[in-house]
Amino acid sequence: MALPTLSSEQRRAALDKATAARRERAAVKDNLKHGRSSLLEVLDSDSEAIRKMLVRTLLESLPGIGKVRAQGILTELEISESRRVRGLGKQQRDRLLERFASQR
């Protein structure tokens, strides 16, 4: 399937939107890392940029959790490595919040 041809204005608008989403995700990750936001606040967010974030990336943003530990947590909680925040089921979300109850 061929990609649609975009005008320069449409391309610029798409680039601006993508840049804004990356900045928002970076701010959320920084706030999590430094304790200015809780995991619950992030999971409850209505922002489309945050809802599209991978759960693995979200976990890696928490203090003391790197790539290996995040992968172990996903396996432990039975959450797919490719799962996005918006795709979490109620039980997965509850298990995640229970696992990080001190992060609330």
Give Cβ neighbours of residue 88 (< 8 Å, ≥ 6 apart).
Answer: 43, 55, 79, 96
Task: Single out the residue of 16, 49, 101 nearest to residue 58, CA to CA.
Answer: 49
In a domain, 26, yes or no: no
In a domain, 7, yes or no: no
> Which stretch of DSSP H or E encloses residue 79?
none
Which domain, by its residues, includes 88?
38-104
Residue 102 confidence (pLDDT): 60
In a domain, 92, yes or no: yes
In a domain, 69, yes or no: yes
In a domain, 98, yes or no: yes
In the chain, which stretches have pLDDT less than 50?
A: 104
pTM of the entire predicted model = 0.82
User: CATH number for the domain including 55?
Assistant: 1.10.8.50
In a domain, 88, yes or no: yes
Q: Do the Cβ atoms of 79 and 96 come closer than 8 Å?
A: yes
Task: Single out the residue of 95, 22, 84 nearest to residue 30, CA to CA.
Answer: 22
In a domain, 66, yes or no: yes
Task: Single out the residue of 66, 65, 64, 94 nearest to residue 78, CA to CA.
Answer: 94
Q: What is the pLDDT of residues 25-39, one digit of tens each?
A: 999 999 999 989 999
In a domain, 59, yes or no: yes
Q: What letter represents residue 53's amino acid?
A: M
Say how many domains are in the chain.
Answer: 1
